[in-house]
Amino acid sequence: MKRFYFLCLGALLLAAPVLRAEDAVSPPEPSRKPSVYRGFDGGMLLHSGFLSGRTADLSGAGAQRTQGAPIGIGGVARVHLGEHFRVGFEGYVSTLSLRGNGSYVKQGWGGVLADFYWIFGRFQPYVGLTVGGGALTHLLMEGDTSRAAADDRSWGPVGASYYRKGGFATADPYLGCDFILTRSIHLSLKLDCLVPFGRSASFCPVGPRLYFGVLFYR
């Protein structure tokens, strides 16, 4: 009988380390599906380019051709969904100076966007489309106002002038590439061509714009 007790006690002592090891092993976690949300990015971009279009002719002859390099600024914010897809919004203001006397054509537009991107080392090319709308403003003046700005005493009649403001819808295809400085900071270069629709579209200058800015990723 004593021999039986000693055998049982020995079996328990041998089994104890195994039982403790099994208790220490945590049960396997259920497999998790990859999250659709992968972060976001945003930042500011400056732009210029070459635009051409029609403006009113102050002589009353209808419309005249105009062209030049605009200067503008704006921003973008995007949410990353999956490995290669982003959605978000952007908005910009672009001013094309005319005649050298304070006349200008100004475009302000924005909308929702969707694009695809890929990563190759430190380069991140992307291509996408923005759909939205904006406002177009024309201010045309006859005469030389540059001397008036420099000398208050030279203010006088400007002559014929023209002011017009209207809205437009737009589709804006674009492509670009980021240079990845760090995981959180990218330099971005983008090229687009605004395609306007609506009543003001015929007087909306169009052409390629080149954007450059700093984007912050998280």
Classify residue 164: in a domain, yes or no.
Answer: yes
Return the sign of the alpha-carbon dihedral for residues 104, 165, 54, 145.
Answer: negative
Owning domain of residue 40: 35-56+65-217
Mean per-residue pLDDT of the chain: 82
Q: Give the tens place of pLDDT for each residue, 195-214.
A: 999 888 888 999 999 999 99
* Partners of 190 in beta bridges: 176, 211
Q: Which residue has the higher pLDDT, 102 or 191?
A: 191
Annotate 42-57 with DSSP letters as a single string.
EEEEEEEE-EEEEEE-
> Measured between alpha carbons, how far is 100 from 73 in angstroms, rounded to an integer?
21
Residue-level pLDDT at 11 = 42
- Whether 79 maps to a domain, the answer reads yes
Judge whether residue 184 has pLDDT over 60: yes
| pLDDT value at residue 99 | 79
pTM listed for this prediction:
0.77
Distance CA 159, CA 142 (A): 5
pLDDT of residue 64: 78
- Residue 145 included in any domain: yes
Would 178 be classed as within a structural domain?
yes
**Pick from 213, 199, 202: which is nearest to 92 by CA?**
213
pLDDT of residue 25: 40
Q: Is the dihedral of CA 78, 81, 83, 85 positive or negative?
A: negative
Confidence band (pLDDT; 50, 70, 90) for 192? very high
Residue 14 lies in a domain: no
3-class secondary-structure state, position 9: helix
pLDDT confidence of residue 154:
53
Mean pLDDT of 183-192: 97
Q: In one letter, which amino acid is 62?
A: G
Assign residue 89 the CATH number of its domain. 2.40.160.20
Confidence label for 17 from pLDDT (cuts 50, 70 and 90): very low
The total number of structural domains in the chain stands at 1
Our separate counts of H helices and E strands in the chain read 2, 11
148 or 116, higher pLDDT: 116
Q: Which of 102-116, 135-149, 168-182, 184-198 has the lowest mean pLDDT?
A: 135-149
Query: Dihedral through CA 14, CA 16, CA 18, CA 21, nearest 10?
Result: -150
More confident residue, 176 or 63: 176
What was the pLDDT predicted at 66? 86
Burial 26-59 (b: 16+ CB within 10 A, else e): eeeeeeeeeeeeeeebbbebebebebebebbebe
Per-residue pLDDT of 21-74, as tens digits, reads 434 444 455 556 568 999 999 999 999 999 998 887 766 556 778 899 999 999
Is 26 inside a domain boundary?
Answer: no
Instruction: Read off the pLDDT band of 173 (50, 70, 90).
Output: very high
In a domain, 132, yes or no: yes
pLDDT cut 90: percent of the chain above it = 59
Is 200 inside a domain boundary? yes
